[in-house]
């Protein structure tokens, strides 16, 4: 069973947002890494890129498929997880520990549209 | 099996100076190649005797698997038998020895075949005219989208930059649209596995160039809402594109032109029994409805009286350019042979038999494999892995285990709508006995998944190569012999 963590925000396309002040860490959920299978490549944005909610900010390639990463929030990328460049399999080892990008949020009210852990767990059970 | 010959690359069998061929005595005098056109060193070709070459490739071919070896239920690929008569016709020297620049007076028969073939495809699909020039299915898609773009541009309608594709679409659809410089918008499927008309309605506006659809779709389901969909798309000024990958069950029964599609491609290597995949080359003819013919690429063949002539320029230049010559002519010739062999009467049998075979397998296995959409399918259907998920045996494991029993694996992990997708397409060719044996093997694998799951998870065991490390292959591909030898 896929792991879901309390206190994070979740999107329907299986990204999570971990908020720290005006910043947020964005990654894919444990459910997503499980569905994707062995991840072989992560296409990440660059620092200073602007990301928009509901727009793609990169892609994850696994042996099964390539999937777009959809940003749940808008803002400016302040950091990307460079460890994923050489070790994309970190997403399979712990998707919540290994975030993909850190964003300076431009509109925190966007978080209201996302799911909490309970609602997200229900979504996963339905799929 | 001779492992020295099989296990090595032809370059590793090379011995400096060894030759398999002696040039005949020179009767034409000595002509020096100008110094500036000469290479500075010898080409790095393998040097082998003829027998070594023959053994090497014979051994390799014995480890290949094709439709001629066994059942090949690769979904959405229509791996049907390639009849021998196709090869006989394509090998006739009257065709095989043609030169692409031959004057048209000397190849009237070959031009007639091209002309008649495009007419036959028009009759089968209900569209007005075809080009047979694109070299593969994806090339056909690109050609079709270039035609659509040219159509909008010719009307001065430059804001149409979006192509809508269903979330169940073949990956080539968004890829072709992207290569054509168009933006991709995804339309959702309903829980029943067909295009969600309400979702589509919300996406349609005056920036939509086209909607690409496969019908029946990749779940093997007929898109029943197609009359409504084509009406909505045309009302907003967009065109309907038909991905011909799944044309097989429609043959002689139902025509994309009658469903309201404007442009389509056909994969001759699927529906019309020409060689497929690595054994290609492919061919992707593109058809258009009346009113779009002027956007088809040249060259094309025109009939004037009882003569056939090659047309090399369009009245208007719309820059839909896909090649200088008539595509993979010999592949088209094989497909034309197939159409004539079946004829108008028998081609109608293809779709119903393919549909019957697919439903027969589906119904016989749905108690052990999870069937997410339990309706009647067309030529193919999708299981979502084993019904009993507690064993940890995945679709990948089942596919690998099938190899041990002498079957080609189905298409797996596509479409992306289901996590453990396993897409099975038997084609019309297979006998009931073959289908029954396949069903028995898949049932046996389901039992093994419970009794001896490790055997399934580590399969294949009986193939020349065991389970390959696809993660390593994706992350560190070794693409050349030099890389390998370093």
The CA-atom distances, in angstroms, between A35 and each of A15, A60, A63, B14 are 13, 12, 11, 46
Angle (deg, nearest 10), helices B329-365 and B108-125: 30
Query: What's the CA gap between B330 and B16, in Å, rounded?
Result: 38
Q: Spell out the domains of chain A, with CATH numbers in brackets.
A: 9-106 (2.40.50.100)
Report the DSSP pairing between strands B263-265 and B307-311: unpaired
- Does B227 lie in the same domain as B115? yes
- Write the ipTM: 0.81
Q: Identify from A36, A63, A88, A93 which residue to disrupt to test chain B contact, counting B C-beta atoms within 10 A and taking the largest count.
A: A63
Q: Which residues in chain B are closer than 8 Å to A38, comparing Cβ atoms?
A: 470-471
pLDDT one-digit tens code per residue, B230-280:
999 999 999 999 999 999 999 989 999 999 999 999 999 999 999 986 656
Q: CA of B416: which chain A residue's CA is closest? A: A65
Where does residue A48 rank: exposed (0-12), middle (13-18), buried (19+ CB within 10 A)? exposed
Sequence-distant (6+) residues with CB within 8 A of A11 are A17, A70, A72, A114, A115
Say what the pLDDT of residue A49 is. Answer: 96
Say what the pLDDT of residue B475 is. Answer: 85
Among the three residues B292, B324, B341, which one is the final residue of a domain in this structure? B341
The answer to whether residue B79 sits within a structural domain is no
Query: What's the CA gap between B27 and B85, in Å, rounded?
Result: 40
Asked if A65 lies within 8 A of B413 by C-beta distance, the reply is yes
The CA-atom distances, in angstroms, between A54 and each of A15, A43, A71, A74, B284 are 11, 17, 6, 9, 36
Average pLDDT over residues B307-321: 83
Say what the pLDDT of residue A58 is. Answer: 95
The answer to whether residue B418 sits within a structural domain is yes
Q: A103 pLDDT exceeds 60? A: yes
pLDDT one-digit tens code per residue, B95-125:
999 999 999 999 999 999 999 999 999 999 9
Of the two residues B3 and B229, the one the predictor is more confident about is: B229
Min CA distance, B412 vs chain A (Å)?
8
* Proportion of chain A above pLDDT 90, given as a percent: 90
pLDDT one-digit tens code per residue, B68-102:
999 999 999 999 999 999 999 999 999 999 999 99
- Please check whether residue B191 touches A, CB under 8 A: no
Question: Which H or E element spans position B381?
Answer: strand B381-384
- Does B206 lie in the same domain as B330? yes
Model pTM score: 0.89
Q: Which residues in chain A are closer than 8 Å to B470, comparing Cβ atoms?
A: 38, 63
CA B197 vs. chain centroid, Å, equals: 28
Say what the pLDDT of residue B313 is. Answer: 84
The answer to whether residue B77 sits within a structural domain is no
Min CA distance, A120 vs chain B (Å)?
18
Q: CA of A89: which chain B residue's CA is closest? A: B471
Say what the pLDDT of residue B4 is. Answer: 66
Q: B317 pLDDT exceeds 80? A: no
Residue tagged 């094309």 (tokens): B300
Question: B43: pLDDT confidence band, cut at 50, 70 and 90?
Answer: confident
- Which domain, by its residues, includes B461? 345-474
Say what the pLDDT of residue B316 is. Answer: 66
Sequence-distant (6+) residues with CB within 8 A of B136 are B267, B280, B281, B282, B283, B284
Our CA dihedral for B469, B472, B473, B474, rounded to 10 degrees, sits at 120
Alpha helices in B236-316 (DSSP H): 256-259, 268-271
CB of B424 within 8 A of CB of B381?
Answer: yes
Average pLDDT over residues B362-379: 96
Residue tagged 């031959």 (tokens): B102
Say what the pLDDT of residue B395 is. Answer: 96
Min CA distance, A21 vs chain B (Å)?
34
* Proportion of chain B above pLDDT 90, given as a percent: 81
- Does B353 lie in the same domain as B337? no
Of the two residues B264 and B320, the one the predictor is more confident about is: B264
Asked if A41 lies within 8 A of B419 by C-beta distance, the reply is no
Question: B484: pLDDT confidence band, cut at 50, 70 and 90?
Answer: low
Say what the pLDDT of residue B319 is. Answer: 74
Asked if A38 lies within 8 A of B470 by C-beta distance, the reply is yes
Query: What's the CA gap between A60 and A45, in Å, rounded?
Result: 12
Asked if B474 lies within 8 A of A40 by C-beta distance, the reply is yes
CATH number of the domain encompassing residue B275: 3.40.640.10
CB of B415 within 8 A of CB of B372?
Answer: no
Identify the three-state secondary structure at position B306: coil
Q: B481 pLDDT exceeds 80? A: no
In this structure, the number of other CB atoms found within 10 A of the CB of residue B18 comes to 12
Say what the pLDDT of residue B3 is. Answer: 64
Say what the pLDDT of residue B7 is. Answer: 75
pLDDT one-digit tens code per residue, B179-216:
999 999 999 999 999 999 999 999 999 999 999 999 99
Query: What's the CA gap between B240 and B229, in Å, rounded?
Result: 9
Asked if B471 lies within 8 A of A61 by C-beta distance, the reply is no
The answer to whether residue B76 sits within a structural domain is no
Phi, psi of B388 (to 5 degrees): -85, 105
CB-CB: which of A40, A64, A88 is closest to B413?
Answer: A64
- Does B208 lie in the same domain as B152? yes
Say what the pLDDT of residue B54 is. Answer: 93
Say what the pLDDT of residue B9 is. Answer: 87
Q: A116 pLDDT exceeds 80? A: yes
Say what the pLDDT of residue B193 is. Answer: 92
- Does B97 lie in the same domain as B134? yes
The answer to whether residue B68 sits within a structural domain is no
Say what the pLDDT of residue B465 is. Answer: 87
- Does B465 lie in the same domain as B378? yes
pLDDT one-digit tens code per residue, B153-178:
999 999 999 999 999 999 899 999 99
- Does B48 lie in the same domain as B98? no
Say what the pLDDT of residue B5 is. Answer: 66
Report the DSSP pairing between strands A9-10 and A15-20: antiparallel
- Does B354 lie in the same domain as B316? no
- Please check whether residue B469 touches A, CB under 8 A: no
- Does B141 lie in the same domain as B103? yes
Our CA dihedral for B442, B447, B448, B449, rounded to 10 degrees, sits at 90
Average pLDDT over residues B309-313: 92
Asked if A89 lies within 8 A of B471 by C-beta distance, the reply is yes
Write out the two tokens for B133.
């020039």
Average pLDDT, chain A: 94
Query: What's the CA gap between B376 and B352, in Å, rounded?
Result: 12
- Does B463 lie in the same domain as B349? yes
Q: How many CA atoms lie within 13 A of A16 on its CB side?
A: 27
The CA-atom distances, in angstroms, between B14 and each of B2, B40, B44, B105, B478 are 16, 21, 10, 47, 21
Average pLDDT over residues B469-474: 88
Tally of domains in chain B: 3
The CA-atom distances, in angstroms, between B280 and each of B245, B254, B267, B269, B415 are 16, 27, 11, 7, 24
- Does B152 lie in the same domain as B251? yes
């Amino acid at each position: 069973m896929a792991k879901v963590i309390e206190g994070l925000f979740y999107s329907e396309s299986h990204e999570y947002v971990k908020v720290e002040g005006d910043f947020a860490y964005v990654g894919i959920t444990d459910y997503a890494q499980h569905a994707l299978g062995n991840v072989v490549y992560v296409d990440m944005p660059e620092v200073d890129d602007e990301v928009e909610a509901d727009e793609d900010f990169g892609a994850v390639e696994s042996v099964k498929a390539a999937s777009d990463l959809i940003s749940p929030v808008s803002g400016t990328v302040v950091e990307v997880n460079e460890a994923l460049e050489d070790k994309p399999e970190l997403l399979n080892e712990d998707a919540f520990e290994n975030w993909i990008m850190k964003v300076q949020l431009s509109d925190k009210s966007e978080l209201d549209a996302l799911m909490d852990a309970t609602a997200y767990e229900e979504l996963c059970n339905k799929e | 099996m001779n492992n020295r010959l099989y296990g090595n690359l032809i370059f590793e069998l090379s011995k400096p100076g060894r030759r398999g061929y002696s040039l005949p005595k020179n009767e034409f005098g000595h002509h020096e190649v100008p110094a500036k056109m000469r290479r500075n060193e010898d080409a790095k070709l393998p040097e082998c005797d003829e027998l070594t070459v023959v053994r090497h490739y014979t051994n390799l071919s014995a480890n290949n698997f094709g439709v001629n070896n066994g059942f090949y239920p690769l979904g959405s690929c229509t791996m049907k038998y390639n009849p021998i008569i196709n090869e006989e016709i394509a090998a006739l020297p009257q065709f095989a020895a043609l030169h692409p620049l031959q004057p048209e007076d000397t190849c009237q028969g070959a031009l007639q075949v091209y002309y008649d073939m495009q007419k036959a495809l028009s009759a089968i699909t209900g569209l007005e005219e075809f080009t047979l020039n694109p070299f593969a299915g994806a090339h056909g898609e690109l050609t079709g989208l270039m035609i659509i773009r040219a159509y909008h541009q010719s009307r001065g309608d430059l804001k149409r930059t979006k192509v809508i594709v269903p979330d169940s679409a073949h990956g080539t659809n968004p890829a072709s649209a992207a290569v054509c410089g168009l933006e991709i918008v995804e339309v959702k499927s309903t829980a029943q596995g067909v295009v969600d008309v309400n979702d589509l309605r919300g996406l349609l506006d005056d920036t939509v160039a086209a909607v690409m659809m496969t019908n029946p779709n990749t779940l093997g389901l007929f898109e029943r809402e197609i009359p409504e969909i084509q009406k909505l798309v045309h009302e907003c000024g967009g065109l309907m594109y038909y991905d011909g990958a799944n044309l097989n069950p429609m043959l002689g029964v139902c025509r994309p032109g009658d469903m309201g599609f404007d442009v389509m491609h056909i994969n001759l290597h699927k529906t019309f029994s020409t060689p497929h995949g690595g054994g290609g080359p492919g061919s992707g003819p593109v058809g258009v409805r009346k009113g779009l013919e002027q956007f088809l690429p040249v060259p094309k063949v025109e009939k004037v009286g009882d003569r056939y002539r090659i047309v090399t320029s369009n009245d208007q230049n719309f820059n839909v350019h896909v090649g200088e010559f008539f595509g993979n002519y010999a592949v088209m010739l094989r497909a034309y042979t197939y159409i004539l062999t079946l004829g108008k009467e028998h081609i109608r049998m293809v779709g119903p038999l393919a549909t019957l075979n697919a439903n027969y397998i589906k119904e016989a296995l749905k108690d052990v494999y999870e069937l997410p959409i339990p309706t009647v399918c067309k030529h193919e259907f999708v299981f979502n892995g084993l019904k009993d998920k507690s064993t940890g045996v995945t679709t990948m494991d089942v596919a690998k285990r099938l190899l041990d029993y002498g079957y080609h694996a189905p298409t797996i992990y596509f479409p992306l709508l289901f996590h453990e997708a396993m897409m099975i397409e038997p084609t019309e060719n297979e006998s009931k006995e073959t289908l029954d044996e396949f069903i028995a093997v898949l049932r046996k694998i389901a039992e093994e998944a419970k009794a001896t799951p490790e055997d399934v998870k580590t399969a294949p065991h009986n193939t020349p190569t065991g389970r390959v490390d696809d993660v390593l292959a994706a992350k560190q591909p070794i693409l050349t012999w030099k890389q390998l030898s370093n």
